[in-house]
Amino acid sequence: MLSRQDELLKEIVETYIKDVKPVGSKSLCEKLKCSSATIRNEMVILEDAGLIEKTHSSSGRIPSEAGYRYYVENLMKPKELSGDDILKLQALFRNNELVLSDTITKCMEIISEMTNYTSVVLGKASKDNTLKQVNIIPLGDEKVVTVLVTDHGIVHNKQMIIPSNINLDELVRTSEIINKMLVGTPIDEINSRLEFEIKPEIAKVIKKYDEVTKFFHQTFSDFTVSNSNVFFSGKNNILKQPEYNDPKKIKEIISKFEDEELISKIETHDKEINIFIGEETEFDPDLTIIKTSYKVNDEEGTLAIIGPKRMEYDKVITLMNYIKEQIEERR
């Protein structure tokens, strides 16, 4: 059974999460059936312990970072998912037409909609893939499809127009040279090797070697861009939160979301679901980041939910646990 102080702190945290207003002693008296003097005395103890704090504009109290931390570690109980929520997520995991990476990103999109928070998936970056094969498939009418396959099973297709000064046979012969000499090369190193090592070999057998090399440069560059390792959902959800109603803070958080180096720090290899609150996030003092890692065969990455410090921790933890269980079953 919770002590009165724990019960009081739990009520303050959950009421503030819901109403986004400092919690006064009057409402707490009604809910906990205590006298106002008792509530005020207990609130002084919680405030002295650094678990709640006053705001400048109200006599009510709000949770501190330490208060949120104590809540998630000692008082919070996971929230049951509704039948509709489970059905939406189950439908994706049971869709055998989707590869796992697509299933994960779509599930995190749904979670972003359910919670009104921002979700992030950090998969393996394109630089973590090595070349397995590149093929040229003719379509007629001076068009081809370039097919690039990596060691992690990523298949990149792009329809391209054959430049007028080269022909299909030259592209096919060059793809054969690339497959012979560059298989196993990290994707982010291919264009450099193509220019300085492979181009001289291409020049021995192909007259328009410069133009052909440019064609394949474009192919590998397009792959790198289209296979970014960061997938956001609900990025603007943060801007709907009261904590970000100030133009300066809006500008700051948008800038942080655009900072690839900062976003990359969200990555984790910890298999547990971890909660980082405020300053602990090393991202923004008004945010909470809940994250975990996943690994199935050759696919691995990080799942994260970003929201205000007054996040619905019980709901997000339950959703993250569900996603992890479903991913594990795909092994």
Judged against a pLDDT cut of 60, whether residue 125 lies above it is answered with no
Confidence of residue 290 (pLDDT cuts 50, 70, 90): very high
Domains of the chain in sequence order: 4-75 (1.10.10.10), 83-124+229-328 (3.30.450.40), 128-226 (3.30.390.60)
Judged against a pLDDT cut of 90, whether residue 46 lies above it is answered with yes
Arithmetic mean of pLDDT, 57-82: 91
Other beta carbons less than 10 A from residue 247's beta carbon: 8
User: Which has more pLDDT, 232 or 188?
Assistant: 232
Cα dihedral across residues 125, 128, 130, 133: positive or negative: negative
Phi, psi of 221, deg, nearest 5: -65, -40
| pLDDT score for 124 | 63
| pLDDT score for 22 | 92
Cβ-in-10-Å burial (0-12, 13-18, 19+) of 155 comes to exposed
Mean pLDDT of the chain: 89
Judged against a pLDDT cut of 70, whether residue 11 lies above it is answered with yes
Residue pLDDT, tens place only, 224-252: 655 557 888 998 998 888 888 888 888 89
Arithmetic mean of pLDDT, 141-169: 85
| pLDDT score for 131 | 92
Phi, psi of 36, deg, nearest 5: -65, -35
